[in-house]
Every structure is written in C-alpha cells, then in structure tokens.
Amino acid sequence: MRVSLSGSDLTFTMVRRLAATVVIVFVVLGYLYGPAVSPAMRNQAVSECNDHAEGNWRSFRLSWNVGVYPHWTCWDASKPTENAVSLGWWTNPFTS
C-alpha cells in the first residue's frame, strides 16, 4: 500500500492530461464564441453590417450564429425580401 504525504493520488500524467483538456476546452470555446465577446471584433462587425445596410443604423440586424462554422449574419430590415448576408467568422478590427 502506498503512502502519500498530501493525501492525494495525483500524478504528473493526470495533471498534464487535465491541463491539456483545459486548453482544448478554452480553444474550442474561443473558436465558437470569441468573436462575439471581443469588443473590437463585434464593433467591426457592426460597422460592416452598417455598410451593408447603406449607413442606416436603425435597419440592420446583426447576429452571431454558432454551429460547425460560426459566423456573423447581417440582415437589412428595410429590405425584407433580401436574404441575410454572412460576414464570416473573422472581421478585421484593425481596418477602418
């Protein structure tokens, strides 16, 4: 029977697996929700959607769709017959 000073049976392999799992979960959540929670990327998506709606701040609708391929969707409410436009996952916050 083994005796442990700390009272736990924690091995380095278990710590390494737990750390890898935490990193993988962080990366997946960053991929799925990162652009939506990043203020710079959200502001750039708002700007691009406003450009799509021809500068009418009141008529555009912007949403973040999560799925296998998460992306921004922009829809101009003043033109209800037109389909929504996908802005993609990445909106470059470093451009004006």
Contact residues for 43 (Cβ-Cβ < 8 A; gap 6+): 93
**Domain membership flag for residue 17:** yes
Helices and strands: H and E segment counts in the chain: 2, 3
Model pLDDT for residues 30-86, shown as the tens digit of each residue: 999 988 898 988 988 988 888 888 877 778 888 999 988 899 999 888 888 888 888
DSSP state of 57: T
Q: What is the pLDDT of residue 73?
A: 92
Task: Tell me which residue has tokens 């998506």.
Answer: 45
Q: Would strands 71-76 and 85-88 be described as parallel, antiparallel, or unpaired?
A: antiparallel
The count of structural domains within the chain is 1
3-class DSSP assignment, residue 55: coil
What type of residue sits at position 59? S
**Domain membership flag for residue 96:** no
Q: What is the pLDDT of residue 96?
A: 55
pLDDT greater than 70 at residue 5? no
**Domain membership flag for residue 24:** yes
**Domain membership flag for residue 6:** no
**Domain membership flag for residue 71:** yes
**Domain membership flag for residue 49:** yes
Task: Tell me which residue has tokens 């993988």.
Answer: 24
